Amino acid sequence: MDALGVGTGSIAVIGGTDVFSLFLPLYDVFHLSRATRARIPGGHPLFSGVSPTATVEDVLMRHGLLPSPPRDIDAAAGITLTNFQHIKQ
């Protein structure tokens, strides 16, 4: 948050691929919710680094964010939440 000039509080980032990617180095935590049964033909990736060989999870971990165990939000619908948190060294 110092990089953005914000002293205290929380920041939520909304946007698309470019905006989410722009903030990758600044996230302390990223809340990734997934609808595992949903498919969006022609959709856009969450981050610019997502490819046929790199998942959203791969991109987050490359930026130092480690996942919590996934939590079912709605098991019947296949909706999960995984919190990726930056581990400061």
pLDDT for 65: 95
Q: Which domain holds residue 33?
A: 2-86
Q: For the chain, what is the domain count?
A: 1
pLDDT for 70: 94
Question: Nearest to residue 24, comparing CAs of 67, 65, 74, 68?
Answer: 65
Q: Where are the alpha helices (DSSP H) in the chain?
A: 17-22, 56-62
* Other CB atoms within 10 A of residue 20 CB: 19
Separation of alpha carbons 56 and 82, rounded Å: 11
pLDDT for 23: 86
Residue-level pLDDT, tens digit, the chain, 89 residues:
566 676 777 766 677 888 888 888 888 899 999 988 888 888 888 899 999 999 999 999 999 999 999 999 999 999 999 999 987 65
**DSSP SS3 for 58:** helix
